[in-house]
Structure 1
Amino acid sequence: MIRRNIPLTDSPDKWLLLSQVEHARVSADLAEVWGGSLASVVCAPDSSNLHLLEVRQEMLSAILHHDDGWASWEASPPLDPEHGRPWSFMEIHRSQALPLWRDSVLRAHSIGPLAGWAVGGHFAHLLRESHEAHCELSEAWLAEVEAWRSDWLAEWRSLNRPVHTTELAEECLQWLRLFDWFSLWLCCYCPAGQADKPCEAMTLAEGNLACTPVTVTPDGAPDEPGSWRVKVAPWCFTVDKLQLDALGYTVPAQRWSTTGEMAKSRSPMRLRWTLVPA
């Protein structure tokens, strides 16, 4: 669950609650049209290489569904007892998050072995980079998921496709991380400050991807509440401009006693972004 302040200040009037599943859909919308003069995800959508096209479709599906394990938890999100507000995904303890991540990994594997391998690697990376990586619970989770990943990579490579290399699998993991990052930046932070103040650009990815670095910045005041124009440089999409949206709901920023009480006050809200060349 993404909990975002509305407005984006330390003393908000409302909280916007966005599903991780909805954020993942935005990730997939970005991935679908990524390319232009830069590298496409795995290959161009009109590539004549059918094996690469299979990999591309599996990865686009993996990006779309990489957070599906959160769905049941978010249907009735628990409250932080200290503050009486819904937990943000950045706040919940590993004992709550790891079963959701595990479910996401297993659901991804139902798409295909590469999808499961990449989504497992995505969450393993997040866990290793966290301050909770070296506890018994985390180490047991990593051991289980890495064993799965080893089997799944071997399964994928055993299909004997000439393109099924470890290098391509690693590139696919980087693609997943890139679009997760881009979507989270939009859903959580854009604009990162007041509309009349500049905000920092974001470098989208590092490592093996030829399409980096890319920076995005909000541009001017929103046309309407929750709607922003975002400059992207270099332009990295196959369309002249890209319109994205994410549907969530708002609740008053106050202390709540129960999830049911909070649910009665929900109002739908849609965030919208128009991405344009800088």
Structure 2
Amino acid sequence: MIVRPYKLPDGEPMLFLIQQSVHAALSGDLASHWGNRPFSPLIHPEVVWPAIFHHDDGWIPVDKSPPIDPKTKRPVSFLDSPAPASHAIWTKSIEWAARISPFAQYLIAEHFMSLREHSESAESEAGQTFIHKYEELSESWRDNWEQRHPQCTDAEEKLALAQLRFFDWFSLWLCLDSRTEVYQFEQTPGDIPLTIRPVADGLFHATPWPWTVDRVHVAAGGYLVPDRDYTDTDDLLLEMNDWCRIEWQFAPE
């Protein structure tokens, strides 16, 4: 669950809860129509696009019954999810990706292994167990894909993984907070810097223009709940009845 601070017009503090599967769907929406030069379109879109869209499906059961942090008494953010809990969730995402393709499993497993390798728990027993398990499995999924698609190059596989990682971060950047300052994405697929400039509420200019359409309109829904102490999940669920949406529009500079 993404836990985003939010204030009502009268200043009352609230929390905007965005489910991880919703964030992933936003990643997929941002990836749609991508590829205006100098940016490359999605590689093998029949696999890469659904992999981006569904890479966080393992969170669906958890986000339906969000846990409460016993210390803060607030919903647990995905950023604070304990490593063993994250591994169990990531494992479900990887397993469920089998319905798409072995290549989707490879991409999602590599994505989560990278997240763990660059985290504080990378050297923990749980972290090492997760990484070692999926190093071997991801190699077998990649080999399976390459046997079926011998024309697929190493460069294309690296580009596909870079695209999944980029759109995941692009979506998180939008969901985690209100953006009012210019931001430059340095690590885009192809390493072409992308500058996003806020010009009005929810409206951004993008330079260089990366989409093949003239304008992009995306949105994410979530639950608006009071920013208060919660005794348990059931207490939070009683408040999760105000479904709202945040919208963003992108236009050329």
TM interval, short-chain normalised: over 0.9
Give the structure 2 partner of residue 121 of structure 1. Answer: 110
Provide Cα deviations, 1:163-208, integer angstroms capped at 9, x if missing partner.
Answer: x22221111000000100111101112325xxxxxx24131525xx
* Structure 2 residue identity aligned to 1:218: P
Quick check: 1:248–1:269 contact (8 Å CA) kept in 2? yes
Correspondence 1:219 to 2:235: no
- What corresponds to 1:272 in structure 2? 247
Quote how far apart the aligned CAs of 1:40 are: 3.5
Q: Assess, with a 3 A threshold, how the Cα gap between structure 1 residues 160 and 251 changes in structure 2: closer, same or farther.
A: closer
- Aligned residue in 1 for 2:214: 240
What amino acid is aligned across from residue 245 of structure 2 in structure 1?
Answer: R
CA distance in 2 between partners of 1:146 and 1:6 (Å): 39
Answering whether residue 75 of structure 2 is matched by residue 86 of structure 1, we say yes
Work out the percentage of aligned pairs sharing the same amino acid: 31
Contact 1:18 1:247 in 2 (8 A): yes
Q: Could you tell me which residue of structure 2 aligns to residue 66 of structure 1?
A: 55
- Deviation string 1:82-107 (CA, Å, 9 cap, x unpaired) is 11110000011102111101111111
- 2:185 — aligned with what? 203
Q: Secondary structure at the match of 2:77?
A: coil
Provide the rounded CA distance (Å) in 2 between the counterparts of 1:18 and 1:179: 17
What SS does the aligned partner of 2:157 have? helix
Asked if the contact 1:229/1:274 (under 8 Å) is kept, the reply is yes
- How is 1:121-200 mapped onto 2 (pairs within 5 angstroms)? 121-162=110-151, 164-192=152-180, 199-200=181-182
Shift of 1:113: 1.2
Cα distance in structure 2, aligned partners of 1:156 and 1:3: 37
Superposition deviation, residue 57 in structure 1 = 1.0
Contact 2:222–2:243 (Cα < 8 Å) also in 1? yes
Q: Using structure 1 for the length normalisation, give the TM-score.
A: 0.85
Q: Detail structure 1 runs of 4+ shifted over 6 Å in the superposition.
A: none
Q: How large is the RMSD of aligned CA atoms in angstroms?
A: 1.7
Does the Cα contact within 8 Å between 2:39 and 2:192 map onto a contact in 1?
Answer: no
SS at match of 2:176: helix
In the alignment, residue 184 of structure 2 is paired with which amino acid?
M
Whole-angstrom distance in 2 between the partners of 1:160 and 1:273 = 37
For 1:66 and 1:12, locate their aligned partners in 2 and report how far apart those are by CA, in whole Å.
Answer: 34
| Count of aligned residue pairs for this structure pair | 250
Structure 2: state its 5+ residue gaps: none
Closer/same/farther in 2, CA of residues 2 and 160 from structure 1, 3 Å limit: closer
Contact 2:197 2:204 in 1 (8 A): yes
